[in-house]
Structure 1
């Protein structure tokens, strides 16, 4: 952490739960190696149940800055973050700034850094859904093209970057920090989490579902189709679906007047360890989350992605994941196929040392500043 000085070598910008989880291995590596860093939290997830509790549960240091941006349109949110992150970076004068993923926080951090005398590192670079209607796709493409260090999780993501004309000298294949996080935390979750008993669940006897992306929940007909397909799949296999519901999705249920089937149990957003325990013990995971696709793959749990495309094609290639779109018939069919699939696929996301590799790449830059 920053010791209060006005300058630091490394700044890390994050704003959402997935970013906290995936940057945690890098934060821990900074602490282990006594690397000076400043942690900037934009506050993009403004619900404590989704966000700040993770710092406590994951035993991470509190942010040096919490900008508290909160909700708003994409333009409003990104604009406010850009102003506030820019002010922090000007004050701290880091040599390197790290961002992770494809959120508005990433876009703001990347643009703010590109205007300053600092180098940008993009963790999880090169992911592509090839769907420009997704705001996340725009965010990740822009971040990649202004970054100086591109930390690609797989060879496939590296090839995406090279096809776009990014010099190979900027790209390092590191594996994905999601593996680091899962290896560290799945045993802790097994020991500490009581979520299964709290909800009266037995392992492998339920489906887990996450649906929150704007393209799925903001369009009423699409959201209704997804819920119908999930409900029919649960009925066919005589199981219950556990749905930790994002505030955005709950708001849309209320706005659209959607009555959810009794087979779909809505629960409040869960902290990371509880959610990880639910993931590891589910028979199938239905999701529209990129991070959950990765986690399911690493945990050995079959996944059905209720989207038209995925920026994690490696999960499909190894047989851990299939796309169902929002079509109810296709959701039912794909769930059945994944329940019958072999579970011996190879993890394509590395060996759990991505955080160490990433910090090793940026450390020479920060070391030169101290000398």
Structure 2
């Protein structure tokens, strides 16, 4: 079975790694190649910074991409169009049995559009997540991808419910669990060995781990300055570890905020996956606008404040350690977290490190793409 596996941005690499590793294990057990997978890894190049992509390939032991589309940055339209043009060439040259897309970045939607128009079945890993906020580019990507994909592989019950409300047939929905936790479980020993907090001179449970990159938080001077002021205030009582995303760094330079300093405000370069896991597990709390870090902190039961009005991962709130915050409530929410328990919530069901195995099992049960094509045709 030939599969094209698409990765475009940093979170995608975390999600494709367990799929690729599971295929290697499966193929090793096949006799004379019968029932084997033949994956083609396509990196769209949506993230091209070394610390945002290449280091993840090294740390996660992902093979070098078979194809790199090298689309780079640009507006949403430019980036989507570039992915579509270059990915179409790949699909036409050697059509696969399935295209596997993950997450909700521009590359996810663009490759799904291409495959759908070429009548190539699409499996979407992490389907059904919704923030119900169409001002987020990711929400548009999710809606379009799930409307076109043939197999919707969901991480949680709320994702199933979202798809049903949108009229998706039940036979296209398969709950498989959280693929990111597969990678977390597999990499936890290496992450703990990194001792990233020790290298930064902060004690376990005695620092805040902060990541911010969404336009709503970093693209306006007033918003970004208010967040940084709160972090500087916090650092007087609790050290702050703040790996700065390239987008955030650019905004800080444009707005003249790059010179903000405090002895315990550790503004550092982006960190690799292992260092990030280590920092999340050992933090007193996490402040983020990242979807992935909401899930990772839930697994560790580290208290998490998400600086957004909504989340497409409500299970991290209903069962995990996450809560939403805003500029107006941030100071009070931080105080509440610091006055609360050091561990919160529970690990949700199917966050067990075996999601990739379940996905491959479903693909093996559906080897004939014509089934999907016939369904779409009707």
TM-score surpassing 0.5? yes
What corresponds to 2:33 in structure 1? Answer: none
Could you tell me which of 48, 51, 54 is aligned with 1:52? 54
| Contact preservation (8 Å) 2:303, 2:344 | no
Contact 1:209-1:243 within 8 A present in 2 as well:
yes
Note if contact 1:153-1:349 (Cα within 8 Å) is conserved in structure 2.
no
Residues 194, 343 of structure 1: alpha-carbon distance in 2 compared, 3 angstrom cutoff:
closer
Q: Does 1:24 align with 2:17?
A: yes
User: Cα distance, 1:234 vs. partner?
Assistant: 3.7
Q: Please, which runs of 5 or more residues in structure 1 have no aligned partner?
A: 1-7
Task: Pick the aligned partner of 2:129 from 104, 127, 137.
Answer: 127
CA distance in 1, matches of 2:173, 2:229: 42
Task: Give aligned pairs, total.
Answer: 357
TM-score normalised over the length of structure 1: 0.92
The two structures have a TM-score, normalised by structure 2, of 0.91
Q: Secondary structure of 1:352's partner?
A: coil
In the alignment, which residue of structure 1 is the partner of 2:347? 347
Contact kept, 8 Å, 1:29 with 1:355, in 2: the verdict is yes
Listed as ranges, the matches of 1:321-336 within 5 Å are 321-327=322-328, 330-336=329-335
How big is the shift at 1:103?
0.3
Paired residues of 1:23 and 1:100 also in contact (CA < 8 A)? yes
In the alignment, which residue of structure 1 is the partner of 2:337? Answer: 338
**Deviates most, 52-61 or 202-211:** 52-61
Matches within 5 A, 1:309-328: 309-327=310-328
- Residue 93 of structure 1: CA displacement? 0.4
Q: 130-139 or 312-321, which moves further after superposition? A: 312-321
Task: Measure, in 2, the Cα distance between the counterparts of 1:43 and 1:11.
Answer: 15
Distance in 2, Cα, partners of 1:196 & 1:241: 11
Q: Distance in 2 between matches of 1:313 and 1:305?
A: 11
In the TM superposition, what is the alpha-carbon distance from 1:368 to its structure 2 partner?
Answer: 8.2
Residue 344 of structure 1: CA displacement? 4.7
Task: State how far apart, in whole Å, the 2-side matches of 1:344 and 1:287 are.
Answer: 17
Match of 1:121, SS state, is strand
CA distance in structure 2 between the partners assigned to 1:98 and 1:326 by the alignment: 38
Where 1:205 maps in the other structure, the secondary structure is: coil
Tell me how far 1:342 sits from its aligned partner.
6.3
Report what 1:222 is aligned to: 223
Matching residue of 2:68: 66
Structure 1 stretches (4+) deviating beyond 4 angstroms?
none
- 1:146-295 alignment to 2 at 5 Å? 146-191=148-193, 193-235=194-236, 238-258=237-257, 259-262=259-262, 263-295=264-296
